[in-house]
Structure 1
Amino acid sequence: MTKTLVDPQVTIKRSKISPNNTWVRTYSCVDNSVIGENVFIGFKCNLNYAVIGKRTQIANSCTILGQKRNNIVISDDVWLGAAVTIAPGVHIGEGAVIGAGTYVVNDVSPYSIIVGNPGKFIKTRKIVSNKKLSNSLFLKKIRKLFQKYPPKFEGGFANYTGLPIPQSLEVGKGTVISGRKSTAFPNGGFQFGKRITIKNNCILEGAGGLSIGENTTIDCNTIIITTSHDYKLLSLPQTNEEVVIDDNVRIGKNAIILPGVHLSKGMYIPDESIVFKNSTVKNRGEQL
């Protein structure tokens, strides 16, 4: 019996996925690829002609599109942040960390930390624990959770909260709303104000807690993240930080809101921005 979990509405073609504790999330597509054990592939990822090593963690909306004679190879114990894009032929070395929104065009040395567009070396990852990641126990809990609170796909979007979406919330097609309060995520779940518009193909991940004020608009392809990993540990344990969005906020297309961010009343976040918890707003092409 496979221990791997593939969510509903995932497309897998001509690929080999390990049966051991790998998880592929909704609206992702895996084609012509080989996926190792204990791998996580987030919502709305697109992989083609890719070889993914053991224990690699691939966050939401990553684009890993190799070519038939120009595969992408990602080694063991790598972490790709949200909305990372990797060019054909790139080889990412063991234990590397690629920051959210990064476009990787060159090979990455083992244990390097890379950010920006194009991606540039920032520093070497210092490992303080050699314990390796396993999804086994976590996926057992997730399966039980899905049995009790199965995901819903009414209205053309994915609802993983286990609760009805408020009628005052306008949600676009292809959007994912995921996360709830649990023993693993004591601060998890959503607080929604009135008159909120979330447009097409967004990802709102509320396991760490997400509060959105009234009269707020979130434009297409925006990603809001409330969980991360401690990259100093090889096992990449999850960390959680609440995101708070006050009233009358406007978030542009293709934005990334990282854990711990607080967007004050009336803020406007431009298209293609990445927002850090110290309230720094940068274009996704800028270096940190």
Structure 2
Amino acid sequence: MDDTNVVEVSTTIDSGSELGRHVWIRAASRLQNVQLGNDCFVGFKCDLKFVSIGNSSMLATGVQCLGIAQSPIRIGANAWLGAKVTVKAGVTIGAGAVVAAGALVVSDIPPDAVAVGRPARVIAYRNVVEDGSPSPERVLAKVRERARQGMPSLLDRASLSVARLKTLNPDTQTWDISEDTLIDAELRGGASVEIARDCILIGRSARLGGMSQLGGIDIGTGASLGEGIVIEAAGGVTIGDFSELGARVTVVTSSHDHSFRSLPWEEAPVRIGSRCVIGEGAIIVGPLSIGDGAVIKPYSVVIRDVLENTVVNGVVQLMEIQE
């Protein structure tokens, strides 16, 4: 493998795949017959099959590109696919296109289009400042250096033991954390928190090398995280006392300014109040606040504030169109 690339633990890449340079593939992703250009990013738990991806394209957590040999998927350069986007076989996504979190793409998306929904539809076109293409290259140097220094790293499963996590994060001493987790995060909060198996939690504040002063995860007393949850807390996550996050919930606290070709990073903090219930498979995309006692229905995509003691389905239901 090219030594400019970073491929994190629990990721599988078959012999039919080819990677360019300065590629970052995050933990627990699967690549089968994938041609990936230079300077690309692939988020956590992505499933990519029979797809070609152009230079400087970025795929967020949980993206599924479900191509087949007879009907591959093509994604142009500089494209951005949000969390848990699903792309069906035979689809072409044009260069510079932006596809919103949770979208289901069943037909071609033109270059520089902004698409949302299930099925995805074009709602606008980007008018961008041509300031250069996005690349994870600078961040990759920091990732490799962190691993070399023996710090917690998603390049080394042994560095992420629960015992070490609790040493580095004193507030977690009473937490029940599955050993089958991947946690490289600054954790704070109350007592008796439960974190189930197969979760991925990342994010630190600027004082510990993160990107934002708000970075890290603050979890209140008695809160619980179900299995398979992904929390990306570079922009900061707060979860209130006795709140429950169901299995396979995704929380994203990073955004990108689509008015620039380089897609500069922006913090997008998420605050979940006390005694909230976040249903299985929901996607929470900051910046937003969910009020105390709110209930988010399963498979909802939530992109704006939720009032306390309300029940919401989000802007779209991920299960409304399934084969």
TM over 0.5: yes
Q: How far is 1:275 from its partner?
A: 1.1
- Partner of residue 202, structure 2: 178
- Partner of residue 149, structure 1: 152
2:315 alignment partner, one of 276, 282, 288: 282
- Partner of residue 232, structure 1: 259
Query: Superposed, which structure 2 residues align to 1:200-279 within 5 Å?
Result: 200-279=227-306
- Partner of residue 70, structure 1: 71
Q: How far is 1:145 from its partner?
A: 2.7
- Partner of residue 131, structure 1: 132
Q: SS of the counterpart of 1:191? A: strand
- Partner of residue 45, structure 1: 46
8 A contact 2:80–2:98 mirrored in 1? yes
- Partner of residue 159, structure 1: 183
Q: SS of the counterpart of 2:138? A: helix
Query: Superposed, which structure 2 residues align to 1:2-151 within 5 Å?
Result: 2-147=3-148, 148-151=151-154
Q: How far is 1:191 from its partner?
A: 0.9
Instruction: Summarize the Cα distance change of 1:153–1:13 in structure 2 as closer, same or farther, 3 Å threshold.
Output: farther
Structure 1 Cα separation of the partners of residues 276 and 188 of structure 2: 24
Instruction: Summarize the Cα distance change of 1:278–1:165 in structure 2 as closer, same or farther, 3 Å threshold.
Output: closer
Structure 2 Cα separation of the partners of residues 12 and 114 of structure 1: 29
Structure 2 Cα separation of the partners of residues 250 and 266 of structure 1: 7
* Alignment length (residue pairs): 286
Q: How far is 1:129 from its partner?
A: 2.6
8 A contact 2:112–2:125 mirrored in 1? yes
8 A contact 1:114–1:121 mirrored in 2? yes
Read off the aligned partner of 1:40 and give its amino acid letter: F
Structure 2 Cα separation of the partners of residues 213 and 22 of structure 1: 36
Q: SS of the counterpart of 1:144? A: helix
Q: SS of the counterpart of 2:27? A: coil
Q: How far is 1:19 from its partner?
A: 4.6
Contiguous gaps of at least 5 residues in structure 1: none
- Partner of residue 198, structure 1: 225
Read off the aligned partner of 2:130 and give its amino acid letter: S
1:122-171 Cα offsets, whole Å, 9 max, x none, are 01111123411222211111222344222426511111116699872212
Q: How far is 1:211 from its partner?
A: 0.7
Instruction: Summarize the Cα distance change of 1:90–1:153 in structure 2 as closer, same or farther, 3 Å threshold.
Output: farther
Contiguous gaps of at least 5 residues in structure 2: 155-159, 163-178, 307-311
Q: How far is 1:17 from its partner?
A: 3.6
1:31-89 Cα offsets, whole Å, 9 max, x none, are 11111111000000000111111000000001101001110110100000000000000
Structure 2 Cα separation of the partners of residues 16 and 164 of structure 1: 40
* Deviates most, 197-206 or 166-175: 166-175
Deviating above 3 A after TM superposition, structure 1's stretches of 4 or more consecutive aligned residues are 162-167
Instruction: Summarize the Cα distance change of 1:211–1:125 in structure 2 as closer, same or farther, 3 Å threshold.
Output: same
8 A contact 1:149–1:162 mirrored in 2? no
- Provide the aligned C-alpha RMSD in A: 1.9
8 A contact 2:186–2:205 mirrored in 1? no
Instruction: Summarize the Cα distance change of 1:278–1:171 in structure 2 as closer, same or farther, 3 Å threshold.
Output: closer
Structure 1 Cα separation of the partners of residues 190 and 277 of structure 2: 20
Instruction: Summarize the Cα distance change of 1:258–1:245 in structure 2 as closer, same or farther, 3 Å threshold.
Output: same
Read off the aligned partner of 1:251 and give its amino acid letter: I
8 A contact 2:20–2:39 mirrored in 1? no
Q: How far is 1:284 from its partner?
A: 2.8
Percent identical pairs in the alignment equals: 29
Instruction: Summarize the Cα distance change of 1:26–1:164 in structure 2 as closer, same or farther, 3 Å threshold.
Output: farther
Instruction: Summarize the Cα distance change of 1:51–1:165 in structure 2 as closer, same or farther, 3 Å threshold.
Output: farther
